[in-house]
Structure 1
Amino acid sequence: MGNIHRRQVIRAGLGFLGMASMSRFSLSLAQQDSLRIGVVLSYSGPYARLGQEITRGMELYLDKVGYQAGGRRIQLLKEDEEADPAVAVRKVRKLVEQDRVNLLAGIILSSSAYAVRDYVHERQMPLIIANAAANGITRERRSPYIFRTSISAWQQHYPMGPWVARNVGKKVFLLALDYAFGKEATAAFKEGFQQAGGEVIGELYTPLGTTDYSAIISRIASARPEAVHAVLSGSDAVIFLRQFAQFGLNRTTQLAVSGEVTDENVLEAIGDAALGAKSADHWVYTLNNSTNREFIKAYRQKYNATPNHFAVRGYDAMQFIVDAINAAEGDVDNRRRFLRAFENAKIISPRGFVQMDPETNNATQHVYAREVARVEGILANRQLADLGIVRDPGK
């Protein structure tokens, strides 16, 4: 009986060890089966708020789908771009080589997008750009592994030029940050504006992180334009708008700016001084579609705040990613199938119908003229005009 008892104990022990091994194996398999998305965005510096909002949008959409796609659990691995292209490259390499992510998403700066382009292309690593608008990324430096779900600089700003010439004024002063997006956006606006008979009476570029715009505003005042077209983001936009109002120029000169300048986060910091400012963007707070209403409601419930177009960009980038993973049935290692899913992607977004252009790997979408107004008690952008469906020409 003693021998039998010992054999039973040994068998039970072996069974227990076997179950423990199986449990560890199952856990390991589950961890291995998670789909890892490396997110590179600015979480510090002048664009920290942009990175936060894009992340909020991504996580809001992942909440909607239960952090699942193609039968696999989704895990986000976040790294700080720090508004520095060299840092962006280093963080991308870490995510790919150390963290073994399945794909990449994010990128705030256009210069960062250019900096990481060759690395992700050579590694054949899918990258979904949720913000950076550098034209060349979907033109001469296009890669079959890079898709932009936000917008190109030309696509957003060219159609605004003729609209400003017809509806705001024919004499405009141009101001932009001295980096890739600022220059490309300004060139696109100027192209459309001058074709419509507009005259540029001044043009200035300022460093990222400028803390005093008073000298620039004095030059604008001396030039006496009918309107100012500015391309600024984050803290730069807040400081410029605040000083523009302090100098009283908001009472004599129209603002007809990039959508980033009158982003809802900026309006929160500026207040009524921004009322009446015009802008062009791919999203408007007042867009009357069910997806936008659902997005705004969910955002308010989760974050107790007003959403902005950066949150929409994060939301849509993740929607494109989830839909592509579902179309590939979770097999993201089958590169041809996964990339084809992105090329053929179509989504119903808070900004309306958006589809990927397989010739450029850039989103095709509506662009809207907007105006800052009080909407249901808050400062937000309301729609003035639909400038039509705009496709980046790809050249």
Structure 2
Amino acid sequence: MKKKKGFLKRAAGMMMLAAMLMAAGCAQSSSTSSGSGSDKGEGSSSSVKIGFILSQTGTFAPLSEGILNGFQLYLDQHNGTLGGKKVEIKVEDDEANPQVALRKYRQLVHAQKVDLLVGPISSAVAYALRDEVEKDKKVLIDANAAGDDLSWGKKSDYVYRVSFSNWQNGSNAAKYLAEQVGKKAVILAPDYPAGKEVLRAFKAAFEAAGGKVVKEIYPKLNTNDFAPYLQEAAAEKPDLIYAFFAGSDGIRFVTQYKEFGLKGKIPLAGSLEFGDELITQPTGEAAEGIIAGINYSPYLDNELNKQFVEAYKAKYGKLPNVFSVEGYDAAAMLDKAITEAGSLRSENLIKVLKGISFDSPRGPIMIDPATNNPIQNFYISKNTLKDGAIVPEVIETVEKVTMPETSPFE
């Protein structure tokens, strides 16, 4: 009987000890969870949780891969920290669908409690997210989506673009093309917001420089056969064809331009995507001769770019593209902003992000506080075949391309 009583006492003691340990464990878990969330402005949090909303499937998947690769490379070079805080990454696929993106956004912000957001690829998705981040007061670093209105009518104190705007992408090479290539152009782009905005900017700048756009053609996104559209463009007998296509659409368009017999007959020019590794590598000789207005190339001659390219090749076994540098620059900008703000609180980060400047592999960058858009150099380049690879040779530098403070199209 005494043995039984002793056993019961020991069992009760063990149960009490287990309960105490469980309570201590819960308290520690709660403290850790709180530390990874937004701090109170004192900079006390030792970690930062970043949510990525990117299009990881479909046409834009290669773009998303580049952004994540560039961001991760920067973390590798900085001991996995931004602003001295350990980084935890959560990635969601928006499928380039605004409604899907909103669901994924709510998972990241309300369920996973991320501190900051990076992405998206699609301008349509960016427009859908804009009101949500405004309502929740969450800082979004726009790593690619180039929708013009994010800097004009839909500008938000919580959205800061590190890539480029459609206005910058479409307008930068127009003057050179009108003066050096020809006055009569047919222009093509996919039938979605980014395509229409790039062509709108090109047309305005091209015609201001004395050129004339005689036809605009808008194939559907994810078009497989461009032959009918190329035939329609060629029928106008233009001096040049200017196009904007990204990802797999761009690869198909450039390849079919050559197959349709237009390469060497009608000069092809385009937005920065046409001078980028993501399109020039898989299309090879078909991309030769294209004139593009680029903001980045692994062949740009500056020391930071040389270091970036070397590190990227060592990690991923290939050259970086413009989307790789967008991810790298998103991390660099966050690193500087968190360091200077000493906090993860949106109110403090906003004060730093307005007008922030840093050096990039593509050249000097400054976020214009009037538009929350980067002021940056663009480079007029011509794709040249060298040692079996396409190299975009820089013909001319357009310095400090700055987006207008308000829309010139209203």
What is the aligned counterpart of 1:244 among 247, 253, 257?
Answer: 257
Tell me the percent identity. 35
Q: 2:355, 2:208 → 1: CA distance? A: 34
**Is residue 2:391 matched to residue 1:380?**
yes
Q: Which amino acid is 2:60 matched to? A: Y
TM-score, normalisation: structure 1: 0.92
Report the counterpart of residue 80 of structure 2 in structure 1: 67
SS of corresponding position for 1:250 = coil
Q: 1:64 to 1:24 in 2, by over 3 A?
A: farther
Q: 1:299, 1:277 → 2: CA distance? A: 26
Report the counterpart of residue 402 of structure 2 in structure 1: 391
**Unpaired runs of at least 5, structure 1:** 1-10
Q: 1:103, 1:17 → 2: CA distance? A: 36
Q: Quote the offset at 1:328 in angstroms.
A: 1.7
Report the counterpart of residue 345 of structure 1 in structure 2: 356
Q: 1:289, 1:87 → 2: CA distance? A: 40
Report the counterpart of residue 289 of structure 2 in structure 1: 276
Q: Quote the offset at 1:321 in angstroms.
A: 1.0
Report the counterpart of residue 304 of structure 1 in structure 2: 317
**Unpaired runs of at least 5, structure 2:** 1-12, 37-46
Report the counterpart of residue 90 of structure 2 in structure 1: 77
What is the aligned counterpart of 1:332 among 336, 344, 357?
Answer: 344
Q: 1:247, 1:145 → 2: CA distance? A: 46
Q: 1:99 to 1:16 in 2, by over 3 A?
A: closer
Q: 1:59 to 1:376 in 2, by over 3 A?
A: farther
TM-score, normalisation: structure 2: 0.88
Q: Which amino acid is 1:188 matched to? A: A
Q: 1:250 to 1:377 in 2, by over 3 A?
A: closer
RMSD: 2.2
Report the counterpart of residue 4 of structure 1 in structure 2: none
Q: 1:368, 1:259 → 2: CA distance? A: 9
Q: Quote the offset at 1:26 in angstroms.
A: 5.5
Aligned length: 384
Report the counterpart of residue 358 of structure 1 in structure 2: 369
Q: 1:120, 1:161 → 2: CA distance? A: 34
Deviations 1:340-366 (A, max 9, x none): 111131110011000111111111111
SS of corresponding position for 1:269 = helix
> Is residue 130–residue 150 contact of structure 1 (8 Å, CA) maintained in 2?
yes
Q: Quote the offset at 1:393 in angstroms.
A: 0.9
> Is residue 284–residue 382 contact of structure 1 (8 Å, CA) maintained in 2?
no
**Is residue 2:151 matched to residue 1:131?**
no
Q: Which amino acid is 1:174 matched to? A: I
SS of corresponding position for 2:145 = coil
Task: Write the mapping of 1:151-230 to structure 2, written as runs, cut at 5 A.
Answer: 151-230=164-243
Q: 2:380, 2:72 → 1: CA distance? A: 28
Q: Quote the offset at 1:93 in angstroms.
A: 1.4
> Is residue 276–residue 297 contact of structure 2 (8 Å, CA) maintained in 1?
no
Q: 1:88, 1:23 → 2: CA distance? A: 35
Q: Which amino acid is 1:281 matched to? A: I
